[in-house]
Amino acid sequence: MNSPSGSAAGPADAGKEHVVALGGVDFAIDGKTVFRGLDIAIRRGSVTAIMGPSGTGKTTLLRLITGQVQADRGSVRVDGVDVAGLGRRELYGLRRRMGMLFQNGALLTDLDVFENVAFPLREHARLPERLVRALVLTKLQAVGLRGAAGLMPQQLSGGMARRVALARAIVMDPDILLYDEPFAGLDPISMGVVMRLIRSLNDALGISSIVVTHDVREISQIADASYILSGGQVVAEGTPADLRDHPSPVVKQFMEGLADGPVSFHYPAPDCATQLLDRGRPT
């Protein structure tokens, strides 16, 4: 597998140069192939974008990295450790080194902002209340919402809720931060704020960020490297500039948002006329 910079990366140095490495991964759900021979190597300390049309398995990739599902074939390594070989305790330990920003924030509606951010600390660490308070307020300050600590989730705008969720994701000081569609549903101002936070937090905290998104223009401004998935494989990788000049029709269609191209608008189906004349229920 060649890294985006073009240098070869073998298994021996995958845990040094690369924080996450997938090699030859096959994965299917209910007999439907999601990945086949998937190879991805994510550089430590970088902001890496995972892009592609809807239904290409981008969120499934995050589930493989966190060990929620296991590959049918191939390896998924985090810091050089095979995730599939971990026992329950070791897997939970690995997950505590990861932060996750869910697609819609996933704030707990019965808890205020402070307690939402404090939740991972209360679940996974036994800390004095004074230290919990200091950590929570520090992370809220980092996302510009220390003054909103007493608000309830329903009192927040969409952008504020996403920032609270980001504060919660970093409160345990993770090594890896995973983002699942962080820009979805945000207005341009909120999107710009979240973009800046992704980049600044990655650099200030010295972490590695993996951003699943289909927002090409936005992520291209902050990503160090990007992967585009289609048909269960990586069809392109490199810097945003590399992808803009990529010759693949699939990549061109995705990067330019073209309606016509290899990625079909229609889900695979039988011949339309034949199915319309058939009186049976579609399967």
Give yes or no: residues 90 and 198 share one domain: yes
117 and 31 within one domain: no
In a domain, 107, yes or no: no
Instruction: Name the residue with tokens 């991805």.
Output: 40
Residue 103 lies in a domain: no
Q: Return the number of other C-beta atoms located less than 10 Å from residue 81's C-beta.
A: 15
What mean pLDDT is reported for the chain? 84
> Does pLDDT of 25 surpass 50?
yes
Please check whether residues 239 and 124 belong to one and the same domain: no
pLDDT (mean) for 148-174: 92
Q: End of a domain among 173, 190, 219?
A: 173
Q: Are residues 260 and 197 in the same domain?
A: yes
Considering the domain architecture, whether residues 40 and 93 belong to the same structural domain is answered as: yes
Domains held by the chain: number: 2
pLDDT at 117: 96
Within-domain flag for 20: yes
pTM score: 0.80
Residue 78, Cβ density class (10 Å: 0-12 exposed, 13-18 middle, ≥19 buried) = buried
pLDDT tens per residue, range 219-236: 888 899 989 888 888 888
In sequence order, what are the residues at sequence separation of 6 or more whose Cβ sits closer than 8 angstroms to the Cβ of residue 212? Answer: 49, 50, 51, 58, 59, 61, 62, 178, 179, 180, 181
Give residue 125's pLDDT. 84
Do 161 and 186 share a structural domain?
no
Q: For 54-99, write each residue's pLDDT tens digit.
A: 778 888 999 999 999 999 999 999 998 999 889 999 999 899 899 9
